[in-house]
Amino acid sequence: MIVVVAGTGTDVGKTVVTAAVAALAPGRVAVLKPAQTGVGPGEPGDLAEIARLVPGVTTRELARYPEPLAPATAARRSGRPPVRPEAAAAAAVELADGHDLVLVEGAGGIAVRFDDDGGTLADVAAKLAAPVLVVAAAGLGTLNHTELTVAELRRRGLTCLGVVVGAWPADPDLAARCNVVDLPAVTGVPLLGAVAAGAGSLDPAAFASTARHGLAPSLGGTWQTPEP
């Protein structure tokens, strides 16, 4: 199975949620990062974090660009070739041949450009006919971003598995607590968990436990929707 993981924006906890899903998935798991930006040669990127949190997971990165920009812009400015959606889809299919689950982690949202021809993560999902798991922020503003993301997936004929909050605060404010109810209401897809903020700093055993408590049963966890 191949699942695409997309954020509603940057810094919403997409990498930690990808790792959480990988930690709980049965069988062999691979994580594909088509384009890593903001990381230089030899520096640890998102896949290094996932590999630390989930020992034994297979990781593959197709390209990296040093400036923290959208992949198309970062590729253009670096003078390096961009990652085409076709290449990302082909790499995912290749990994799927030897793994039970392949997670394709995007860069930012579904409409962020991979290349100057307009190729996006949504195009990768379409080429794979893969469902998309959306990672959202917890607080004020997330309803708009998440509803727009899910609506765009629906417009493109893509399946959205649901939404996971990528960094649930230890002391959630009123907006975050209300969003637990409002996110599924406005998007029409289920809320499939809320991973605790700071989970990415844990050791693998503690991270697996946190992932289990933060993801819904459909993703291998025990999370239940809290009261607002």
DSSP 18-35: HHHHHHH--S-EEEEEEE
33 is catalytic: yes
Closest to 104 in 3D by CA, of 93, 115, 112: 93
How is residue 174 written in tokens? 């009123």
The single residue of 33, 64, 99, 113 carrying the catalytic annotation is 33
Which amino acid is residue 216, in one-letter code? A
Cα–Cα separations (whole angstroms), residue 219 to 49, 108, 200 = 20, 22, 18
Separation of alpha carbons 88 and 61, rounded Å = 10
How is residue 190 written in tokens? 């289920």
Closest to 136 in 3D by CA, of 179, 80, 188: 179
Just list the catalytic residues: 33
